[in-house]
């Protein structure tokens, strides 16, 4: 059977880092409130010339370098974003061009904060179907550009950034499947009836404007813990693993309290949860690959580890993927 194996990771952050205290000079909030309710202490905000596409390109190039490959080795790019550089063309096509690639498919997927799980599952399915051999999967966002900076309930929560994986098709014998690297199982879900709980109040076909992010935070919080707990159980069940088998969980970084509640429901200690929400805030589709790259580069995630990725976001959409590194 074919498995998609991780060859390299990369990430990129804007230059400007904005602390809670700096934000409190512009918005009616405080470092104490933001820390207590979310765990966030700072976020990176894109400046002039920094876009979703430029951050995505930097992260993708870093992942290629990490894998010891060049763009000539790649035959697919899938990019998750809710903040593309333009309504079209897809940002993925521009990343392909900037990296010096040509001819192979490149497209965006829109599933907001769970976008990276959707992109990774799509690339994995295409690899297993024989449609691609080596893919770059990217999550990249500049949410600072769709925030209402007058709305303190949302603008303090988000940041900008990008993360990328390079994955490759590899043949795995069935009797070696348990210890073999690669994506073992993934599940995706959506429930459009909750579209009004987390959305952007504009778009090309409605207002003709980009719009601003709106969120009913409490409701999103409640659904996030319930949905994530159930999808984690589903993926573990598919793969025949117990929560205690997981070496690392790399969750979408929305709120430290969500990470804590989800880990507790799973019976996993916080020591096995990769946390970057404190320094990156919520970077939507970028948060999972960004956190993964940080934990891999600092030596926490090692070769052979069993790692669970999970995310939940606007739509609602949510998903999880279990992989061995
Ligand atoms: O990535 C997609 C998924 N997104 C999420 O998972 C976000 C999920 N939601 C959350 O993380 C939390 O609901 C929030 C962090 C957004 C809010 O935390 P909360 O404990 O649910 O607070 P709240 O919205 O109920 O607000 C509590 C109080 C309110 O004041 P009153 O009405 O109690 O007097 C707010 O006006 O906190 C006030 N408040 C603030 N105060 C200082 C709201 N935002 C701020 C702020 N600074 N930035």
Tell me what the mean pLDDT of segment 185-210 comes to.
Answer: 98
Whether residue 146 contacts residue 200, with contact meaning beta carbons closer than 8 Å, is answered with yes
212-222 mean pLDDT? 96
Marked catalytic residue, from 194, 223, 252, 280: 252
Q: Over range 193-198, report the average pLDDT.
A: 98
Q: Is the confidence at residue 122, as pLDDT, over 90? A: yes
Ligand 1 mutation pick, 21, 110, 117, 153, max ligand atoms within 8 A of CB: 153
Residues in contact with 124: Cβ distance below 8 Å, sequence separation at least 6, in sequence order = 4, 167, 183, 186, 321
Catalytic site residue from 20, 227, 255, 282: 282
Instruction: Calculate how far, in angstroms, residue 37's C-alpha sits from the geometric centre of ligand 1.
Output: 7
Token code pair at residue 11: 């990430």
Query: Across all residues in the chain, what is the average pLDDT?
Result: 97
Task: Answer yes or no: is the C-beta of 152 below 6 A from any ligand 1 atom.
Answer: yes
Phi, psi of 68 (to 5 degrees): 70, 30
The ligand 1 atom nearest the CA atom of 220: 8
Please name the residue whose Cα sits nearest to atom 45 of ligand 1. Answer: 153
Buried b (16+ CB within 10 A) or exposed e, 141-163: bbbbebbeeeebebbbbbbbbbb
Look at residue 21 and tell me whether its pLDDT is greater than 90. yes
Q: What is the pLDDT of residues 141-190, one digit of tens each?
A: 999 999 999 999 999 999 999 999 999 999 999 888 889 999 999 999 99
What is the value of pTM for the model shown? 0.98
Nearest to 230 by CA among 192, 273, 187: 187
Q: 130 with 2: CB under 8 angstroms? A: yes
Q: Which residue has the tokens 């813990």?
A: 225
Instruction: Determine whether 252 is an active site residue.
Output: yes
At 104 the pLDDT is 98
For the chain, what percent of residues have pLDDT higher than 90? 98
Average pLDDT score over residue span 213-221 = 96
Q: Alpha-carbon distance 13 to 8, whole Å? A: 18
Residue 8, H or E segment? strand 2-12
Q: Which CATH superfamily is domain 180-324 in?
A: Thiolase/Chalcone synthase (3.40.47.10)
Residue 129 has pLDDT above 90, yes or no: yes
Q: Where are the domains of the chain?
A: 2-174, 180-324
pLDDT in tens, 32-90: 999 999 999 999 999 999 999 999 999 999 999 999 999 999 999 999 999 999 999 99
Q: Is there a shared CATH topology between the 2-174 domain and the 180-324 domain?
A: yes
Determine the residue of 37, 194, 317 to mutate for testing ligand 1's pocket, defined as the one with the most ligand atoms within 8 A of the Cβ atom: 37
- Cβ pair 76, 134 in contact under 8 A: yes
pLDDT of residue 22: 97
Report d(CA 114, CA 284) in Å as an integer: 7
CATH 3.40.640.10 is held by the domain 2-174 = no
Instruction: Check residue 72 and report its DSSP letter.
Output: G
Q: Is 113 in the pocket of ligand 1 (CB under 6 A)?
A: yes
Task: Give yes or no for residue 270 CB within 6 A of ligand 1.
Answer: no
Residue nearest to atom 20 of ligand 1 (CA): 37
Question: Catalytic: 280?
Answer: no
Note the Cα 27 to chain centre separation in Å: 27
Three-state secondary structure call for residue 33: helix
User: How far is the C-alpha of 135 from the C-alpha of 133, rounded, in Å?
Assistant: 7
């Amino acid at each position: 059977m074919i498995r998609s194996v991780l060859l390299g990771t990369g990430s990129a952050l804007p230059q400007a880092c904005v602390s809670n205290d700096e934000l409190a000079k512009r918005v009616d909030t405080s470092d104490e409130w933001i820390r207590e309710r979310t765990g966030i202490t700072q976020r990176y905000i894109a400046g002039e010339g920094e876009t979703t596409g430029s951050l995505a390109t930097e992260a993708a190039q870093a992942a290629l370098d990490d894998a010891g490959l060049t763009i000539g080795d790649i035959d697919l790019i899938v990019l998750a974003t809710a903040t593309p550089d333009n309504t079209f063309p897809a940002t993925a096509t521009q990343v392909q061009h900037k990296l010096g690639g040509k001819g192979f498919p490149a497209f965006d997927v829109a599933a907001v904060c769970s976008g990276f799980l959707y992109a990774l599952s799509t690339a994995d399915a295409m690899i297993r179907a024989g449609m691609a051999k080596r893919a770059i999967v990217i999550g990249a966002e500049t949410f600072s550009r769709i925030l209402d900076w007058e709305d303190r309930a949302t603008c303090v929560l988000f940041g900008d950034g990008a993360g990328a994986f390079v994955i490759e098709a590899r043949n795995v014998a069935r009797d070696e499947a348990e210890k073999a690297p690669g994506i073992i199982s993934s599940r995706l879900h959506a429930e459009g009836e909750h579209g009004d709980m987390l959305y952007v109040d504009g778009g090309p076909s409605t207002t003709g404007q980009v719009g601003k992010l709106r969120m009913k935070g409490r409701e999103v919080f409640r659904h996030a813990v319930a949905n994530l707990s159930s999808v984690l159980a589903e993926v573990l069940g598919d793969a025949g693993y117990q929560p205690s088998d997981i070496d690392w969980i790399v969750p979408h970084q929305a709120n430290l309290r969500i990470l804590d509640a989800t880990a507790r429901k799973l019976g996993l200690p916080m020591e096995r949860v990769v946390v970057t929400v404190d320094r990156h805030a919520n970077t939507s589709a970028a948060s999972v690959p960004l956190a993964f790259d940080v934990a891999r580069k600092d030596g926490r995630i090692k070769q052979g580890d069993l790692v669970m990725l999970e995310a939940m976001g606007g739509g609602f959409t949510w998903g999880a993927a279990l992989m061995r590194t």
